[in-house]
Amino acid sequence: MLFKVWGKSRPLWGSFITILSGLTILWVPLNLYLSTFLPGSIATIGLLFGGAITLIGIVAIFFPNASKILGIFTIFLSILSVIGALGGFLFGTLFGIIGGSLLMAWRLEPVEVKTEPPSGLENTHSI
């Protein structure tokens, strides 16, 4: 019950798909680790972009108010990851675009505030 209430106040699906995108993008340069750290290798860009996208997904869980700007960064970095990591064989790019779109589209529903006083406290003032 508590997780359900907490989960509704955060962009969980967008964050999870963004984290999956970052891990997929990180997978390619980590498997090519022998050539990743050579001077002049573009695969280090894949490490940076994949790590940044994974971090964005984690940050979006804890700071839901920033989800719109984080979604924009996710889409931008996932498209640019095609250069350095082949976009996680393009699956990471697709997951990044979907996760970023979900982060941008998420909004917190307004909470209704009851204006009536709690029962038993209506006439507590005595003169």
pLDDT single digits (tens) 87-122: 788 899 999 999 999 999 998 776 676 677 666 555
Q: How far apart are CA 88 and CA 101, in angstroms?
A: 18
- pLDDT at 109 (0 to 100): 73
CA distances to 35, 42, 113, 116 from 122, in Å: 74, 70, 18, 9
- pLDDT at 117 (0 to 100): 62
Q: How far apart are CA 101 and CA 94, in angstroms?
A: 11
pLDDT single digits (tens) 48-87: 999 999 999 999 999 999 999 999 999 999 999 888 778 7
**End-to-end distance of the chain based on CA atoms, in angstroms?**
45
- pLDDT at 56 (0 to 100): 97
Phi, psi of 73 (to 5 degrees): -65, -35
pTM of the full structure? 0.79
Please report how the helices 12-31 and 43-62 are oriented relative to each other, as an axis angle in degrees rounded to 10.
Answer: 160
